[in-house]
């Protein structure tokens, strides 16, 4: 399995290969802006490869498909690049107003098995019900 830097570089090479196939000149300009921004973030902060890699992989998929979609349909924002999951969840929440607003997930019940191989958590979603999460692993769960 390649390390994050190699994976990022491979994605950039593939993006460069398929970039001329984009029909829209506006998409090609936005593509160049995003590649420049992601490359700068990866170069400035080594740890950022874990943040920019998901963007690079999604951009690679979209360029191969021949059209840029969210979040690449607009130029990148100034400042730090947030995690892709955060960016996409904000866009989903904007397009589906009936979804509850995100916040810190404060579970009212959280348990881990004595052997460390199972984890269960439950959180109430106001007006919607309860969200339950169960994970089982052959290895121990480690908390950050």
pLDDT in tens, 74-124: 898 888 888 888 888 888 888 887 766 665 545 566 777 777 778 788 777
Q: Which of 127, 122, 120 is nearest to 106 (CA)?
A: 122
Report yes or no: 11 and 53 within 8 Å, Cβ to Cβ. yes
Q: Rounded to whole angstroms, how far apart are CA atoms 132 and 110? A: 10
Secondary structure tally for the chain: helices H, strands E = 4, 3
Kindly list the distances between the CA atom of residue 139 and the CA atoms of 11, 42, 115, 144, in Å, as whole numbers in the listed order.
31, 31, 9, 16
Whole-model pTM: value is 0.67
Which contacts qualify for 107-116: CB closer than 8 Å, 24 or more apart?
A: 112/141, 116/140, 116/141
Q: Is it the case that residue 71 has pLDDT exceeding 60?
A: yes
Q: Is it the case that residue 60 has pLDDT exceeding 90?
A: yes
Greatest pairwise CA separation for the chain in angstroms: 58
Other C-beta atoms lying within 10 Å of the C-beta of residue 96: 8
> What average pLDDT does range 3-25 have in this prediction?
91
CB contact set of 33 (below 8 Å; sequence gap of 6+): 75, 76
pLDDT band at residue 47 using 50, 70 and 90 as cut-offs: low
Q: What is the pLDDT of residue 46?
A: 67
Q: What is the pLDDT of residue 142?
A: 60
Q: What is the pLDDT of residue 140?
A: 58
User: Tokens 């692993």 correspond to what residue?
Assistant: 137
């Amino acid at each position: 399995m390649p390390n994050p830097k190699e994976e990022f570089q491979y994605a950039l090479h593939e993006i460069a290969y398929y970039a001329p196939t984009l029909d829209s000149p506006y998409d090609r300009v936005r593509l160049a802006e995003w590649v420049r921004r992601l490359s700068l973030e990866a170069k400035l902060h080594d740890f950022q490869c874990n943040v920019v890699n998901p963007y690079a992989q999604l951009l690679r998929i979209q360029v191969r498909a021949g059209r840029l979609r969210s979040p690449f349909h607009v130029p990148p924002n100034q400042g730090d690049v947030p995690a892709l999951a955060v960016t996409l969840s904000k866009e989903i929440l904007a397009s589906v107003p009936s979804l509850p607003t995100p916040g810190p997930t404060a579970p009212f019940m959280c348990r881990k098995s004595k052997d460390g191989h199972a984890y269960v958590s439950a959180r109430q979603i106001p007006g919607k019900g309860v969200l339950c999460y169960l994970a089982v692993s052959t290895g121990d769960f480690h908390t950050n």
